[in-house]
Structure 1
């Protein structure tokens, strides 16, 4: 495969995907509405086609203009987006849809592609735009991929958990990097042993390429850091990259009440472990970036950016009240 069309391509996962494709000798076209700055505006091997992916005519015009070997769908948030794209790009060598670990409908450890059932999706959920139905919509997108493959389209899905790394506009990890960078004592909700599988963004990009090149139509592939760490271990890993020492202070619901804080107010906290099996992807020859290296790049990017993630979690004043209560015990 030589020519790739990336639907999206300028913000986070798509941005890293374009870089990954260029490093592997693809010519790339990005298709989006142009609402965000194009970081590849000066790159001769990256073309930009402006259009709305919900407009059939615009998407068909892109298909005719590019005639891509591989299509990577980074911004398919509704099942109809997937159905539209797999219909228009039905003759490409690979269509890869970015789904989500949230598409799984049962809590299992680990969640496996061919065993763990997906979330259901009603007609109302399929068109809803709230966070509550995100997993339902992604799961229905997976089913659209499977249906397209049954009809002869070389369509596949990739399911990442929480994605982190440079240019992460969600700022979830930035909250924790900022806390460790500014304070000697960091409040961690619960006992610090909770697990929410994460994946470095450059590894998502390499997953998408590997699946396009080596994956099987009609299959879904989990991706994620090959070494999973607890919230405590993540904070310590951040401290190591910042070359600082930090005291982790655990706070349960009773202690957090002093700051009017709930456990779920903290980003990357999850009560029940969320773990995805990545064995199926590894069988394609994929490997993840060593965790220390990935976190080092994420921390470096944070320090060079203006992101602080503070809106994602409790304010420090509220945490100081919690620390005051804990210091009296």
Structure 2
């Protein structure tokens, strides 16, 4: 297969590129050529989703996988340009497109969020060449929903939309999952032995290893699958407590989990985004069941997951190779965690 990947060097795209090369595909990347990994054996076309697309003109591929569109304008311009250049378009979206998460077991037919034309116009006229998904704030999900529409309009009957949940694993530049891996793995080895565990241990969590997401997305693309699929895991009900306990056993049995109430943390301005997949439902109306999506459609189509312990150990091993002492982008600093644990004890809650 001759495959075009829009993006392809940072996280999800990086794993897609590796998987495609391992499968023997001829791979072309289109990106800004700034940051990320460089694949010497891969042709990279340099351009900008929000500007110059000329490098894509006059070329053909069997299929394209789009990992880098955040605005409907970027998605539409690229999809329309590639209408006759590829047979098939795979768009990597997000579960954040859904209007709310008040119900457990929502499938792909659940209503999606909307964004006004005025909001879209405002976003489209703002320079976004250096943006990531997080930079769009509350509009991230609604904009991705409009991106889906743009792709499906340009490729009727020839589009696959993949909606991943929280994506984790090696090379995750968000550090959300990596925070827990590092925190547990280094407990008593440079960090405190006692690990602040937020909220209720029985609360559900969902996430997917980027390598599993890449493998299934690639297979679905090769098979010419169409439609929309929730893509998150695992394929069983996993609680936050079981996730952290598995982390402790796999990485560092010396770590001690100290569970701290949602209300206590919220009172002290700890936000859910600081400690994902912590999910204080009382403070997040409409998002109560964010980690309880139905993934049966993707599972029936061949989505599989590696053991959680493998994801944990591989992420920890990768994290230990990173250079420097730059703080993580997510999680609590050692000082803040110690202060919170001290305050928790002082209130005689343990």
**TM-score of the superposition, structure 2-length normalised?**
0.83
RMSD: 2.2
**1:5-51: CA deviations, max 9, x gaps?**
1111111111100011111121001111111144312x2xx111111
Q: Shift of the alpha carbon at 1:253?
A: 4.5
Could you tell me which runs of 5 or more consecutive residues in structure 2 were left unpaired when the two chains were aligned.
Answer: 124-134, 282-287
User: Residue 64 of structure 1 aligns to a residue in which SS?
Assistant: coil
The aligned residue for residue 285 of structure 1 is 302
Matches within 5 A, 1:126-165: 126-127=120-121, 128=123, 130-150=136-156, 154-165=158-169
Matches within 5 A, 1:129-278: 130-150=136-156, 154-180=158-184, 181=186, 182-217=191-226, 219-225=227-233, 226-256=235-265, 260-264=268-272, 265-270=274-279, 271=281, 272-274=288-290, 275-278=292-295
Distance in 2 (CA, whole Å) between partners of 1:111 and 1:215 is 25
**1:133-178: CA deviations, max 9, x gaps?**
000001111222332343x5x1221000111111111111121122
User: Residue 31 of structure 1 aligns to a residue in which SS?
Assistant: strand
User: Residue 58 of structure 2 aligns to a residue in which SS?
Assistant: helix
Matched, 1:117 2:111: yes
Asked if the contact 1:32/1:51 (under 8 Å) is kept, the reply is yes
91-100 or 284-293: bigger deviation: 284-293
Could you tell me which runs of 5 or more consecutive residues in structure 1 were left unpaired when the two chains were aligned.
Answer: none
Matches within 5 A, 1:48-63: 48-55=44-51, 57-58=53-54, 61-63=55-57
The aligned residue for residue 94 of structure 1 is 88
Of 311, 329, 334, the residue aligned with 1:316 is 334
Asked if the contact 1:100/1:159 (under 8 Å) is kept, the reply is yes
94-103 or 122-131: bigger deviation: 122-131
Relative to structure 1, is the Cα distance of residues 119 and 254 closer, same or farther in structure 2, using a 3 angstrom cutoff? closer
Q: Shift of the alpha carbon at 1:77?
A: 0.5
**1:173-197: CA deviations, max 9, x gaps?**
1211222123321111212333342
Q: Shift of the alpha carbon at 1:316?
A: 2.5
**TM-score of the superposition, structure 1-length normalised?**
0.88
Q: Shift of the alpha carbon at 1:323?
A: 2.0
Distance in 2 (CA, whole Å) between partners of 1:215 and 1:278 is 19
Deviating beyond 6 angstroms after TM superposition, the runs of 4 or more aligned structure 1 residues are none
Asked if the contact 2:3/2:26 (under 8 Å) is kept, the reply is yes
Distance in 1 (CA, whole Å) between partners of 2:138 and 2:160 is 25
Distance in 2 (CA, whole Å) between partners of 1:242 and 1:161 is 24
